[in-house]
Each structure stands twice: as C-alpha cells, then as structure tokens.
A and B are shown apart, each in its own frame.
Chain A
C-alpha cells in the first residue's frame, strides 16, 4: 500500500549520502578520537570536520559546539549546566509555558537545588511576548530559556527580540534557546539571534537519531551534566559517537547547501495543506501561528473527534501523522502546549499534526486530502458530540 509519511516531528529519514558518510566510522575507521595512534587520529579528524560543518550551519565557531546524544540531552545540559554554573550569582530562571519536557522538567529538577522558576505564558497562537519575558526577570535571574519554534503547533518565537529585551534589561542574564525544530530546516544564525546557548539535533535535518549538539558561546561557563573524561572540552564526558557526529556533520553540510530551495518547496506544500484541509473538512482549525510558522508544519484541531482514532484511521490508509490528544499520550494527558494557548480541553482532543519530510511531494498532499474527509466523516457519524452539535444547529 502507498505510504505517505507526514510525521517529521517524530522522526525523519537520513538525507541522501549521510549513511555513506557514516558507514566507514562503524567499520574500518573505528578508532577512538582520543587515541594517539593513526586509527584514533583518523576518527578525530572526522569529528573535527563534522564540528566545523555543524558550526557553519548556525554561524558558530567550531569550538562553540558541544556534541550530545539527543536534543533532550542538549536541553538538559543547557538548562541545568548554565544555571548550576551560575548558582553563586542567583537562583532564578525563566522559561516559556510551551517548552519541550526536557526544558520544563530540567527546570523543575533545578528547584531541588534551590532554584525558582517563572513560567511565561503564550498567546492564543503560542507566541511568547518579549516584554513579558523581560518583565519576569528578577535581580537574581541567571537564565532564560525560550524555544525558537514549537514542534506541536509550528509557531516560531521572536527569539531575537526576546534576547534583546532580556539583555537590555539585564545584560548578565544568559539566554538559551531550544532550536531542535528549526536548525537545518530554516536559516539560523546564532550571532544575529544573539543567544548564549542553542540546542540542535541532527535527525530533523536528515542526520541520524542520537546526534545532537549544544552551541555554547565562547567563554560561557557550564557545569557538565555527564561527568567523565576530557571529551568535548570537559563539557560532556563519554567516548564520541563518531559515526553519529559524522552523519550530523554531513547532514548539516547538505542542509545548508539546499536551504532556500527546500524551504520554498516545503512552504508551498504546507500552505496548500493549511488552506485546503479546512476547506475539505468543516470544523477544522489551524493551531499555532499562520504567519510565524515552521515551513514543514501544519497542525490542526479537528472538532468532535479524538486524535488517536484519527491516527489509527490515517495509518490504515498509509498516512503517518501525530497527535497530542490525551489518549495518544501514555500519561493520558492532553498537550500542555495547546492548554497554554487557551484551547478548550475538548477541542484539544482533536489535535492532529502533519509535518512534511524532504521527499514529501504534491502527490502526497493530494493523497492526504483525498483520504482525510471520509475518515473524519466516519468518526463524526460515530461521535455523540457531533450528533449533539447537529441537533443544536437544527434548533
């Protein structure tokens, strides 16, 4: 059966050429980069080259890249590592309400070390107000962490404005941004944005899972969260995952090269989906910002139906998508992002996210637009909420 994979935010395929670049480092060039012999040095050179390519993707210096094993790890390293390194200066941090769990839970865990957290709310489109971030600063604030874009609703945050608002009020406060959903899929320049730290992951731009990095501005103090040897300048212990690092470097090089063409192509397909899906099925609303939006991201709430039932039905038709309804999560809890945006809990149960991958075509979107209306029609005919709604309408 035809498979249409529209779940970029969960996993993406390797970009062409990435596996070929990685393969030698799993087989013949298997040395440890810390070893002095030829085998080790060959691996060390490959890691150095990958560090350069990863840094170049975000306009950083190679020495500012700390490799990690996941976006989650990079976020933990940034939030805990930056806060704990400055504990003598102060013990207050600021995060937004729609951060990934790896930032929110890291902030929660800092509370055990005496830190206090302020959570800045978002508007109905999931946007953070820079003035609200600045207003949340206290004299003892040491760190602000606001994401560059949210993968559940696709909203891009005004991160450069947030940095400016924070720094102009209190120059010493560090700003970290989780840019996992953005890097490699849109141009990002750490100097223009002005952040002190930025998390990125390789998989969203065609690198392997298990590849990620933290950009850390030169001179920024960090308390390591994985203590061990001198790898990554003592900032992250553990033998380098050379193949994963090489894969991310290669993916970074390719992503940078084809960026503007890819963004334009994705945006075109995304806009078609955003315009045509609500036209094909009534009572479907876009979640997140229409204007400030990830190029590969179309997220909706479909009224009167529940997310998991939609995902299962779509999967039967060969379409892979995501939902953040209560029933699709193991904790049976509806998305904190949708609730922070003020969405009604019942509406949030109809959460549905289509995220395009690089080979997504216009024919894939045609196919989705074709199979989607009958699926919703079938589920709505089963839904007592829809029956009640129709009854109300007739009154």
Chain B
C-alpha cells in the first residue's frame, strides 16, 4: 500500500464530512481539473472553532488530509487553526508519498480560506464563500514528478538527477513538469516556452 495505515483509516472513516448550513465561514480551494477540490465549513464561537465540516472531491490522500485537518482544527482558537501547516497535517497522518504532498497543502489552505471567509464576513466585507480556484504551492518540496528524485539546475529549467528528464517550472503553480509537455501536469496551466 502506498499510504500509511493512518491515511487509510481517515480515507475509510473520514471524520466531520458534510456541510454546515449555518456556517460562519466557508472556504473552497482547488479545481476539479487538477483532480482535487475541497470545501470547508467553520462555526466560530468566542474566537474558537466549535465545529468544522468538509467535502472533498479527490484521491485517497485528499480525503484523508481533509479529515485530519478537520480533526486538528475543532476546538482550536482562530490563531491556532491558522497555524496548522501542511507539514503538521502530513506528519499527523504518518507521512504522505511525495507526489501527494500537494493534497496536504490543499487541506490547510481550505481551512484557512474558511477562516478568512469568517473574518471577512465579520468585518462586513464578504457575503458568499471564499473561493481559491488554484492552490498555493508555496513551501512545497520540489521533486521530479516522474521518479520523485531530487531536481537540480536553474530556477526555471532544471533536470532530474535520477531519471534525466528536463523539467520546467510552471509559472502558475511553480511546480515542475517535463519540458516536453505543453501544460503543467499539476495545475493544468499553459507552460510558457
């Protein structure tokens, strides 16, 4: 199995799945074109997250990550929840395969989007949900999408040390894709030549 027991447990028995009709904040992150999309709902009382629910379209890792994020967030203060990082989620899950790390980013991002949405609503600057159509890949460890090996070279064009594929950085999500491709394999954006 490519996943840890903990990931499989959260995939099989995800915690806090669903929607909150009376949510104080709703955040949506991702794009089905990339293969995953998450919606997080938060209920806030006295600066604390009293309830968190989510819905996820995506792979096993994406579902497990959402479940873990929801579990980690419930009962936390806003500041504590905003401090949940991609690394801490992956760590709690007993690790994720390298090419699935972007799923963990998505989970924390979706929670943070829901909290931002709550803040904006409280400030009166938002009415609907906060939508982040593309996910932020900042802090993503860079690895070859084909063999997961280390990459080296210039910042915008480099080669995988192991499988010798020439890679280009996507101007949009900043992840690496085979130079021969025309669109980014991670976010679907057109690659600039």
Contact = CB atoms under 8 A, between A and B. Distances in A.
B85 interface: no
A306 B185 contact: no
A386 B18 CA distance: 12
Interface class of chain B by DSSP: mixed
B99 interface: yes
B32 A346 contact: yes
Interface string A359-395: 0000000000000000000000111111100000000
A352 to B, nearest CB: 13
Contacts of B33: 345-346
B153 interface: no
A387 B55 contact: yes
Interface stretch (A171-179, A206-214, A329-337): A329-337
B69 to A, nearest CB: 14
A364 B87 CA distance: 42
Contacts of A387: 19, 39, 55
B12 interface: yes
B168 interface: no
Given A306-B36, A332-B99, A345 B57 contact: no
Interface string B151-193: 0000000000000000000000000001011000110100000
A300 interface: no
Nearest to B56: A382
A308 B59 CA distance: 5
Given A305-B57, A383-B56, A327 B63 contact: no
A384 B14 contact: no
Interface string B59-78: 11111000000000000000
Contacts of B61: 327
Given A309-B60, A383-B55, A334 B11 contact: no
Contacts of B178: 331
Contacts of A316: 12
B57 A327 contact: no
B95 interface: no
B179 to A, nearest CB: 11
A312 to B, nearest CB: 5
A326 B35 contact: yes
Nearest to B145: A331
A297 B13 CA distance: 32
Contact of B146 (A108, A331, A349): A331
B37 A327 contact: no
Given A316-B12, A385-B57, A349 B35 contact: yes
A325 interface: yes
Interface in B43-94: 55-63
Nearest to A323: B59
Interface in A295-311: 304-309
Contacts of A325: 35, 59
Contacts of A334: 35
B34 interface: yes
Interface pairs A-B: 9 shortest CB-CB: A327-B59, A308-B59, A346-B32, A326-B35, A384-B55, A384-B39, A333-B185, A345-B33, A383-B57
Interface of B: 8, 11-12, 14, 17, 19, 28, 32-39, 55-63, 99-100, 145-146, 148, 178, 180-181, 185-186, 188
Interface of A: 108, 304-309, 312, 316, 325-328, 330-334, 345-346, 349, 381-387
